[in-house]
Structure 1
Amino acid sequence: MEEKTRFRILSVTTQKPHSTGSGVYLTELVKAFRSSGCRQSVVAGIYHSDDVNFPPDVTFHPVYYTEPGACCRPGDIPFPVLGMSDVMPYPSTRYDQLTDQMAEQLEAAFIPAIREAVMELDPQVILCHHLYLLTAMVRQAFPDRQVWGVCHGSDLRQIRNCSFRRDWIRQEICELDRIFVLQSEQKEVLKSYYGAAPDKVTIIGSGYNPRIFNCGGENAPSTVPGPVRIIYAGKLSREKGLLPFIDGLREIAEDPVMPTVSLELAGGCKDSLVSQRLASVDWEDLKPGVLAEKPFPIKYLGLLSQDQLASAFRRNEIFVLPSYYEGIPLVLMEAMACGLIPVSTDLPGLRDWLGRTIPDNNVIFAPLPPMVSPGVPDPESLEDFRVGLVRALKKGISQVERQRQTGLRRLPETKNASWQGVADRILSFQEIHTQPKG
């Protein structure tokens, strides 16, 4: 009897479930749902070469894309993984490259896999990640099921920048039974751009894993002399603001009044303009290691596991997120939990969410440049953006110097930003959605 009453959730994503912020979000939610006693299945798009690690009692139904250089096997989608961002940390297909035939191939692979999972699990909810093409397909294919959607921010950017089936996607997203967004700015976009009913949209925020991201039992900052240690983690791409950031650090490094700095970069790179700026190579040739020694040391760490990233955070002092567009950046909370001084662009909705979730946060904000479209800055504003970023970085460096002198470090209270809290907010709707529709 107990088995029948456990809430059943099928999670769906078009892309890899363990890579990028939205992939981590899905995976951590699956773990948190499991802690709440839910039965689960997951459908996600991967390559045959990928390793997927969900808890053993979570059934995984893979949909396979064709990796570049590999032969397309029968039943596989004959192109690389669809990426919600235009630059992904793995080989991917951009949505503006899609044709109707490719969309039909996507649907012909995913919907049967989802139907199989539905027959097996009989989920009370199908929870789709990203409010975009596949979620619209699922809403249409399963009219008698509760279909909920999770917004990650990149989907809102994609629909405004890419016209492929735009009107149809917006229509189907509005038909979702419930929509979860990370912060208040996204809720406004759902109401104004999609036309979604406000009572369907709920803010759930984001979370981090405190078992991995923490100070390692050390409450005092390092007093080891040497450069101020700075780290960036995320995709190495122009949309993350890396070019003005590197230029700004170069200005600081060449300023005789400022202390010396060093930089570590963690994440995948598929942007040759960024790799050329960093190491004078195309992205295919960018390898982990020391990229430069002057005017300041730069070390590329490559793609890291969560445990490796936490270790990298703990050996640095400042975390920088110069991005032009994000939802709620998970990595910002992870860095704060590891004791870093965070410097971030003043992303829409971020201050509001931090103020409610981590009210004692110590984020140093840099003004966001004007945008010509979501995530695309006005080129004429980039010099002003760089100047503002340098100002914020100097504030962070001053804080590091004070920490080294006093031995005291400010640690924000991040316990409210837990994955279990996010899962609980989603599960709070289960009592009114325990049966299929119809």
Structure 2
Amino acid sequence: MTVVPSFSSRTAWNSEESDLASALRERRAAGLPLFDLTASNPTHCGFDYDSAALLAPLGDSRALEYDPDPRGMRAAREAVVRYYAQQGSTVPVEHVLLTTSTSEAYSYLFRLLADPGDEILIAQPSYPLFDFLAQLEDVRLTPYPLFYDHGWHLDLEALRRSIGPRTRAIALVHPNNPTGHFTKPGEREALEHLCAEHGLALIVDEVFLDYALGGEPAISFATGEHPALTFVLSGLSKVAALPQMKASWIAAFGPDAALRPALARLEIVADTFLAMNAPIQCALPVWLENRTGIQQQIPTRLRANLASLDAALARQGMVSRLEVEAGWYAVLRIPALAPDEEVALNLVREHGVSVHPGSSFGFPGSGWLVVSLLTLPEEFASGIERLLVTFRGTEFDQEGVFSREG
């Protein structure tokens, strides 16, 4: 008799295939058309990459020498410093630490800041990956709400009430994923004041910062004063649209009394893993320097799809979109006919359209869908038209809540 080993409770996830994933798999297997409005991988979205220029720096002979620095090669970190300098921020190279991904960066910071059972406050709606990262590090996530009123806002009073004796940090994504809103200057000031008042760190994920869609300038948390210990995260996955190259970073700021020990401890964490490989570090300066080409293509796509979406929405009255300031996604408000998962499932089975249910991002109640603006324009327009067919013949009461079928 073979005794099955026991496994860690931190990995006790429900790994069964969801109904939505099953429907997508079955539709693809049957060869049926599928309009994918969830596309998030830029390398599969028809953009023009300069293959020769991107692959050439991987042949740098410096990568043959093993001379590890737990923070990352100085030349690579200096490239990150130049990136922030172009945004008006002075970042000492000693305050930059390279990681293979923002997920790894979060892992480092959770280990730095929290003991098992401590909590990190995080905005909701937000990207669901955080739940897995926190569970793997034995950290609890406590959500604080965003609310929508002619744009997205932090509920600062609710955030204040969420701070408890085991709170160690406040995390936010700037601009948020998937709502696409920037943290406003007044909100930033309030966040920094709360962190300084309660001895908390501020973790700011800025992977979508370079993809502003409106007139508002994108201002990094790397700029300005830092009254609280602050960690700014970003990486090539979005900045250069190179998710396969696995290069990200942490830039640290704050009062010297907190910053110095934080950097010393982070260096030990990084030295324990030494994760990033030398060829990627050697190539990082070239990829960052040449990011402008892809950063011109992607916003053009995002704006074109947003205009296409608005034109389609203007021809009907059942579905609307929320304001979006930046990022790769748009949030749709739909009739609350059924739970979002059921709506998304029906869209796959009956109309061949794949969308994200709002519940995947923690939107409250029903009536939310999230679509990617990165999808190829023709596929995006066709998918949106098919999506809107689903909601024809519905009516709303005066408060915008679905009331009956027409």
Asked which structure has the greater RCO (Cα within 8 Å, sep 6+), the reply is 2
Alignment TM-score > 0.5, same fold = no
Task: State TM-score, norm by structure 2.
Answer: 0.29
Task: State TM-score, norm by structure 1.
Answer: 0.27
